[in-house]
Amino acid sequence: MYSLKRKNDHRLQLSRTLKRPGRYKVELYLFTPHETTFSSWRLSESQFYFGSVIHRYGLLGQPSTDRVRKGVDGFSLLSPHYEIMYGSWLFQYKASMDRLRQQLQAADTAIAEPIVRALRLSETFAQRLRRSAPQQAGQQRYFRQMDIYFSWYAEQFLLECMTLKEFDELDTERKEAIKAFLLKEYQLRKARDYVAEFRGTPTRVWNRMSLYKRLLEYPVLLRLNIAELGAGTRKLVKAASTTVIMSLFTYLLFNAKGTSQLSLTLLLGIALIYAIRDLLRDDMISMMTRWLRKGKPRWRIRLLMPYTKKLLAQQLVWLSYRKLGELPRDVAEHSGKWSISEERQVICYKSLLTLDKAALEQNEIQELLSLDCEQLCEMIQAPRNRLFMAADGQSPFVDIEAHDIEKQHDYNLLLVCTDPGQRHSTAQRWRIRLGAKGIVHCESKKLAWPTQEEQEQGRNKGV
């Protein structure tokens, strides 16, 4: 199952941990309020994929080569093994903290246990990180960035916990432990000359830490080698269209041999053929290519190990805009009561990941699927409507206030996934409300997805 987290005003991030080799199938359906003009309006399929979908993978845990060399003298001086090892530690720590944040955000969960576990995780990671400092200059720079980012990230998590209403209900001992940890981190920053990194406006500090995060995650993020599929099909369609047009042109020329002279009508006919060719050729080639490749993947991605470029996995990606009637039956029936119009567009994203066994011998892979809604928010036009209300209910006509109405769009997000060795699928659903300035609200919805037995029965009936 995926956990959902809001990253900023426009981005949602789904994450889970992959622990077994095999084929992972993920289908994401975003039900939009837009009609059939959506695809040709302002956002093409390629623009949505490269601008709004970020699907990446990172290493969790210590690589097997590093485990073997752990007891060897001078192991900490090796590079890039040092960056990979410490970067994977940070990746694993953040994944655990994100799961605790999800528990804190759940309405029916007590916050005492997640906060205690978060404090324990932070203290353990601090000891593990600061046990020994490297000697090489490049690794010292990496260590300093990680130490600063960890100190800031742990502080932000605990300060966020302190703003919760239930925090006051914690016992005094736990509150004092949190304050002691924060004070210890503050003193460490002064001792190691980190204080300047925490100064500035909130936006500047946030952007600085975001930069450190990208630098720290670089050694453990799998490299993506993206290749667009269908180039051969497009060339064949282009060659076939040229053959048809030139055959027609040749046929007209041979028929014109019997006449004493080329007529003006024939010349105009030939010119018209070339004009139609130049006018419709690109659109015709694109339409025929899309028809021939319907249902086939659009991109192939090779996932490579950082630094060594070793192939760990291959991924096939589909992306298309469809109508409700074109969706699989289970998806259409469990999409939620989002629209009564069959013309509404559904953004369909599908990923098929084949993960090599060697990639998980000593590692776990964290999958991060991000959905950036900024381009969708830009489609929401600023409203000009206003609602007039009395400022004072007891004197309704003395003072009148005008309230601007914010236009909002509701989306349904349905995620269907199938893990290795399973023939049945599982699903999750969220309701997303977007405004012109970003995500207004996001909530998880209950979903009565068919059980394994019901899916088996459906397949048998289909056979």
pLDDT at 63 over 50: no
Domain boundary among 144, 177, 199: 199
Distance CA 214, CA 456 (A): 44
Domain boundary among 182, 199, 216: 199
What pLDDT, in 10s, does the model give residues 225-274? Answer: 888 887 777 788 888 877 877 787 777 667 765 555 556 676 777 777 77
CA 124 to chain centre: 30
How far CA 410 is from CA of 5, 70, 265, 406, 442, in Å, comes to 18, 52, 58, 13, 10
Same domain, 334 and 461: yes
pLDDT at 148 over 90: yes
Same domain, 334 and 453: yes
Same domain, 167 and 254: no
298: in domain: no
Same domain, 459 and 360: yes
Q: Determine the average pLDDT of the residues in 64-88.
A: 57
210: in domain: no
Average pLDDT over the chain reads 81
Q: Determine the average pLDDT of the residues in 424-434.
A: 90
CB atoms within 10 A of CB 447: 15
343: in domain: yes
Phi-psi sector, 385: left (phi>0), alpha (psi -120 to 50), beta = beta
Distance CA 363, CA 154 (A): 24
Query: Taking a C-beta distance cutoff of 8 angstroms, is the pair 266, 282 a contact?
Result: no
Same domain, 334 and 192: no
Same domain, 321 and 374: yes
Same domain, 134 and 278: no
pLDDT at 365 over 70: yes
The pLDDT of residue 25 is: 93
Partners of 426 in beta bridges: 417
pLDDT at 340 over 60: no
301: in domain: no
Distance CA 201, CA 61 (A): 35
pLDDT at 437 over 50: yes
Same domain, 325 and 454: yes
Domain boundary among 180, 199, 218: 199
Same domain, 45 and 88: no
167: in domain: yes
Nearest to 431 by CA among 411, 459, 448, 456: 411
Query: Taking a C-beta distance cutoff of 8 angstroms, is the pair 150, 91 a contact?
Result: no
Helices (H) and strands (E) in the chain, counts: 13, 14
70: in domain: no
Residues of the domain holding 281: 230-292
Same domain, 461 and 320: yes
Same domain, 238 and 134: no
Most confident by average pLDDT, 10-19, 35-44, 240-249, 346-355: 346-355
Nearest to 362 by CA among 116, 68, 100: 68
25: in domain: yes
Same domain, 366 and 463: yes
209: in domain: no
| Number of domains making up the chain | 3
The DSSP symbol for 33 reads S
Q: Determine the average pLDDT of the residues in 158-173.
A: 87
